[in-house]
Copies of this chain bind each other. A is one copy, B any other.
Amino acid sequence: MPHPIQHSAHLLGIAGLTPEQVLPYLDLAESYALLSRSRTPPRDVLRGKTVINLFFEDSTRTRTSFELAGKRLGADVVNMTVATSSVNKGETLLDTASTLNAMRCDLLVIRHAQSGAPALLAQKVEASVVNAGDGMHEHPTQALLDALTIRRHFGRFEGLEVAICGDIAHSRVARSDILLLRLLGARIRLAGPPTLLPSAFGKMAGVTIHRDMDEAVTGADVVMCLRVQRERMGAGLIPSTREYFALFGLDQRRLGLARDHAIVMHPGPMNRGVEIASEVADSRQSVISEQVEMGVAVRMAVLDRLSRSRRNHHA
């Protein structure tokens, strides 16, 4: 991306980042994870700073993760859950941004149904903007926490085979994960119903597309299941949950095709019995809870680093 300074102040997506920009987040998050376990995160890192969670889509889980991250570093955290009104969305968004800016917000965490909304905000506010999920675009902190969880298990990304299964086309999680894991050296296998497999990623080096789930999982080091959005089913893009589970659900038999040391990931919340079998979700190979734990640590690292780059930027 053309504006390197922007990257030091915002986290809008994984696209355009270099490993040198990404790895410090993972390293800092790793140390925050340790401090969180011993209940001793440094409360003065964000003291006097204001973090606003501006959520235009409801997501208790992600909002709570950012809220805890901010509070554990001593910030004032304010939640704003805004029902997206039907009229003048774009305008309202910019006016909201302008309002928050005037309230002297330091870190603005935004989730929005429109792709590109965080990038638009970032041009209008002095605060550092963190994209907490925008439309079908990106969800960079999810990708960072996934990468950190993988690194903790394998110590590396080079040579790893990561199968990502489900509704790839509509998933900002898949998109950010593919970009980040490729950047760090892993190879990606995508599997899902033909209606939900984007052709764009098929042309990307190191990414293969599989219509057969078994094929994608065989020999994989990481199997990542995506959440089935039930509203897609109404639209006819996904068959019944029963048929979906038969074709693309991760059960013990399928997991048996992966490497013995393979780990199972899911961004949550899970539809048990749809994209993942309960026995797999609760198995020893599942690292789903660790993903949640790393989520708080990654968000602490992101808030901390963006706050520091701001300090330098404004100094």
Contacts and interface: CB of A to CB of B under 8 A. Distances in A.
A48 B40 contact: yes
A78 interface: yes
A78 B80 CA distance: 14
Given A43-B48, A50-B68, A68-B78, A102 B290 contact: yes
Contact of A99 (B80, B101, B268, B272): B268
Q: Which of A64, A104, A270 has the most CB of B within 10 A?
A: A104
A60 interface: yes
Interface residues of A, number: 49
Contact of A296 (B91, B98, B103, B289): B103
Contacts of A52: 64
A7 interface: no
B92 A269 contact: yes
A175 interface: no
Contacts of A268: 95, 99
A39 B48 contact: yes
Given A43-B48, A68-B76, A61 B99 contact: yes
A237 interface: no
A104 B296 contact: yes
Contacts of A60: 80-82
A292 interface: yes
A71 B76 contact: yes
A269 B65 CA distance: 29
Nearest to A106: B39
Nearest to A294: B102
A288 B95 CA distance: 10
A65 B103 contact: yes
A210 interface: no
Contacts of A275: none
Contact of A104 (B36, B82, B102, B288): B36
B49 A88 contact: no
A112 interface: no
A189 interface: no
B293 A104 contact: yes
A131 to B, nearest CB: 21
Interface string A89-100: 001100110110
Nearest to A272: B91
Interface in A275-296: 278, 288-293, 295-296
Q: Which of A61, A81, A271 has the most CB of B within 10 A?
A: A61
A43 B43 CA distance: 14
10 A-B pairs with the lowest CB-CB distances in the bound complex, closest first: A102-B292, A102-B289, A71-B76, A102-B293, A39-B48, A99-B292, A36-B104, A60-B80, A91-B272, A103-B296
22 contacts: A36-B104, A39-B48, A39-B106, A40-B48, A50-B71, A50-B72, A64-B80, A65-B103, A71-B76, A71-B78, A88-B271, A88-B272, A91-B272, A95-B269, A95-B270, A96-B269, A98-B292, A102-B289, A102-B290, A102-B292, A103-B292, A104-B296
